[in-house]
Structure 1
Amino acid sequence: MPVTGGATVAVAVRRLGSGVSAGYGDAVFDTASIVKVDILAALLLRAQDAGRRLTPRERTYAAAMIESSDNDSASVLWRDIGGADGLNAANERFGLARTTGGDGPQWGLTGTTAADQLMLLGHIFGARSELSEASRTYLQGLMGRIVPGQDWGVSAAGDGPGWALKNGWMPHDATGLWVVNSIGRVTSGGDDCLVAALSSGNPTKEQGIALVEEAARSAVSAYGRTM
């Protein structure tokens, strides 16, 4: 597992044009709020299976959960999808082999890997997906409207206009060390890239942000020359 200054970091990148991906680090990390993307993907999948669209209530909670990372909204939709069981069932269809929903109401303690998050991003931004085109477009739109102050992370790896992302951050009560994660799509060198950068053991949130941003920049730059 790659470790930087006492913190552990993993990163995975895929260029949408070529479909080629690469990664560094295979540790399992707590998701914190990046799981909100997975929660919404699971909700959209359930709605598709039922042959319906999201209700106005669901859309209100979904927008707050993604755009401003509202935790209460996430808790409501977590219950709506059936908690960890519902998330795990959706992730089996998405191919997320190493992602396990958090116990009880603790959605932020869902465990995941950078490779799994890259797989999830592929279902949101790629053409081959369990999600319908309408579901993908909806999720992409919310991830492109993150409120100011929460738009850090993988966006640092882009050199073109536009990004779509979701970040997660939380301190562990026992240690005071921070989990800081970022997933999303950026444009680099004229290509769309999917990026997942996960970290744990950060002394502060700010140091975690700096770490995942550097990991995302380095990965897109390095892998972009070989992919």
Structure 2
Amino acid sequence: MESLLWKAIINGYANNHHILIALQSQKDGAIHEYASVPGYRLSAASIVKVAILAQLLHNTSGNLNSYQQELARKMIQNSDNNAADILVDRYLGGTSNMQAIYYALGMTQTTPGQGNHWARTLTTATDQLKLLNEIFSNPHSSYLNDQSREYIKSLMSSVSADQRWGISAGSSQYYLKNGWSAFSAPWTWYVNSIGFIPQGNNGYSIAVLTDNNLPMSVGVNIIESIARFSKNYI
């Protein structure tokens, strides 16, 4: 039912978008998903920064030095690309080495970015739920310790004002990371949003990925329409 209703929302926009949606209820673990083209993958853009931080915390058992903490804060709260570059290149050994976290979390539809650039990582909304589950819904995670999980939550709950859009629409409480990129002419945008909505006992993880947005605001509007509906559906 929810996929039919998501499709009805999407049909209100131009039909040249690829749109991937996945939502997981914290209450019963049920996963709801929709893909406008089954099996399609999209560029992650800056939502991959959550995986960058998760892998860094895993590698360090949650013990980041002050410089790493400052880079992590900028990367998540402000979506600072330079901070992400430094963390990936200096501390993870390059984008290709991020295959380790995808393998560990069973993210079989996610592959490191082409040309060793993290923004070009290919993924699906359903795979993003596997990462979100480790942070928000799996207190016995073997990949992230409690200290690491709480650290990610603290950053995703305090993004800067210009980052507060996407899956957070219609909710006063949220954990959030957005991504947006236009890689080549005609400069259409990938616009993505992932996170967690702590809705009492009905909290849920959600990921929405879109492409072919011109201007970027089209993708934002699509994601926020889906987010508002999904909040009521759960």
The TM-score, its normalising length taken from structure 1, stands at 0.90
Percent identity among equivalent residues? 35
Q: Residue 56 of structure 2 corresponds to which residue in structure 1? A: 43
Once residues 157 and 117 of structure 1 are traced to their aligned partners in structure 2, the CA distance between those partners, rounded to angstroms, is 21
Q: Does 1:152 align with 2:165?
A: yes
**What is the deviation of 1:162?**
1.5
Choose between structure 1 and 2: higher strand proportion.
1
Tell me which of 203, 209, 213 is aligned to 1:202: 213
Q: Does 1:137 align with 2:147?
A: no
C-alpha RMSD of matched pairs (Å)? 1.7
Does the 8 A contact of 1:157 with 1:186 survive in 2? no
Q: Does 1:162 align with 2:173?
A: yes
Tell me which of 29, 36, 59 is aligned to 1:19: 29
Does the 8 A contact of 2:49 with 2:76 survive in 1? yes
1:49-68 equivalent positions in 2, closer than 5 A: 53-68=63-78
Structure 1 runs of 4+ aligned residues shifted over 6 Å read none
Name the SS for the 1:153 alignment partner. Answer: coil
Letter in 2 for 1:39: I
Q: Residue 3 of structure 2 corresponds to which residue in structure 1? A: none
Once residues 136 and 124 of structure 1 are traced to their aligned partners in structure 2, the CA distance between those partners, rounded to angstroms, is 5
Does the 8 A contact of 2:96 with 2:113 survive in 1? no
Letter in 2 for 1:107: W
Greater shift, 82-91 or 161-170, is seen at 82-91
Deviation per residue, 1:24-49 (Å, 9 max, x gap): 1142110110010010011111112x
Structure 1: which 5+ residue stretches go unaligned?
none
Once residues 134 and 18 of structure 1 are traced to their aligned partners in structure 2, the CA distance between those partners, rounded to angstroms, is 25
Does the 8 A contact of 1:99 with 1:112 survive in 2? yes
**What is the deviation of 1:172?**
2.7
Structure 2: which 5+ residue stretches go unaligned?
1-6
Pair 43,109 (structure 1): closer, same or farther in 2 beyond 3 Å: same
The TM-score, its normalising length taken from structure 2, stands at 0.87
Deviation per residue, 1:61-88 (Å, 9 max, x gap): 0000000000000000111212233211
Q: Report the number of matched residues.
A: 217
Tell me which of 44, 47, 51 is aligned to 1:31: 44
Deviation per residue, 1:51-108 (Å, 9 max, x gap): x611111111000000000000000011121223321111111111111111344110
